[in-house]
A and B are shown apart, each in its own frame.
Chain A
Amino acid sequence: MLTVANLTKRFGPKQGVEDEAFTIQQGEIMGLIGQNGAGKTTTFRMILNLLQPDSGTVLWQGHPLTKADYNTVGFLPEERGLYTRMSIQDQVVYFAALRGQQPAVTRKALPQWMARFNVKGKLTDKIKDLSKGNQQKVQLIATLIHQPKLIILDEPFSGLDPVNAQLLEDSIIEMKQNGASIIFSSHDMANVERISDHLLMLRNGETVLSGTPDEIRSQFGNTRVRLRSPLDRAALVAFPGVNDVQQRGNAYELTLDNEAVGHDLFKAATSQGYIPEFSQEPPSLDEIFRIEVANHE
Chain B
Amino acid sequence: MNKFMVVTRQVIRKNIKSPAYLFSLFFPVLIIAVIALFAFITNKTNQTPTIAITSNNVALRNALVESPTHGDYRVNKAISSERVAEKRLSHEKIDGYLNVTTTGQTVSAVYRQRTNGNSLDSDTLKNNLNTLKLRQAAQQLGLTAKQLQQLFAPASYKTQNVAYQNGVVRRQKSNQQGANLVVAFVVTFLIYMFIAMYTSMIAQETATEKGSHIMEILVSSVSPVTQFFGKVTGMLALIVLQVIITGIAGLIGMQYFNHNISFLGDFSFSQIQPGMVSVLVAYFVLGVMLYTVIAAMLGSMVTRQEEVSQALSPLTTVGMLAYVASFIAVNSNSLLIRIGSYVPFLSQSLMPVRYAVGNAALSEVWVSVAIAAIALVLMTWIACRVYQQHVLDYSNRRHWYQFGRKRRA
Report A's interface with B, CB cutoff 8 A: 11, 45, 48-51, 67, 70, 73, 75, 77-86, 90, 94-95, 97-100, 102, 142
Contacts and interface: CB of A to CB of B under 8 A. Distances in A.
Contacts of A45: 216
17 contacts: A50-B219, A67-B223, A70-B220, A70-B222, A73-B221, A77-B213, A79-B212, A79-B213, A81-B213, A81-B216, A81-B217, A82-B212, A84-B212, A95-B221, A98-B6, A98-B217, A100-B3
B332 interface: no
Contact of B217 (A49, A51, A95, A102): A95
A94 B6 contact: yes
Interface string B53-66: 00000000000000
B214 to A, nearest CB: 4
B357 interface: no
A70 B224 CA distance: 13
Given A97-B1, A97-B6, A98-B3, A48 B14 contact: no
B213 to A, nearest CB: 4
B6 A81 contact: no
Contacts of B392: 50-51
B132 interface: no
Given A67-B223, A75-B217, A102-B1, A81 B212 contact: yes
A77 B216 contact: yes
Contacts of B217: 75, 77, 81, 95, 98, 142
B273 interface: no
A50 B220 contact: yes
A99 B214 contact: no
Given A94-B6, A97-B1, A82 B214 contact: yes
B233 to A, nearest CB: 16
B221 A80 contact: no
B131 interface: no
Given A86-B14, A95-B221, A75 B3 contact: no
B108 interface: no
Most chain B CB atoms below 10 A, which of A81, A82, A99: A81
Given A50-B392, A83-B14, A94-B10, A70 B221 contact: yes
Contact of B214 (A48, A70, A81): A81
Interface string B9-32: 010011000100000000000000
| Most chain A CB neighbours (cut-off 10 Å) among B6, B215, B218 | B6
Contacts of B18: 85
Contacts of A75: 216-217, 220
Nearest to A82: B214
9 closest A-B pairs by CB: A81-B214, A98-B221, A79-B213, A81-B212, A81-B213, A77-B216, A97-B6, A48-B220, A75-B220
A86 B218 CA distance: 16
B206 to A, nearest CB: 13
B22 to A, nearest CB: 14
Given A94-B10, A98-B217, 8 more contacts: A70-B221, A81-B214, A83-B14, A84-B212, A95-B221, A98-B7, A98-B222, A100-B3
A136 to B, nearest CB: 14
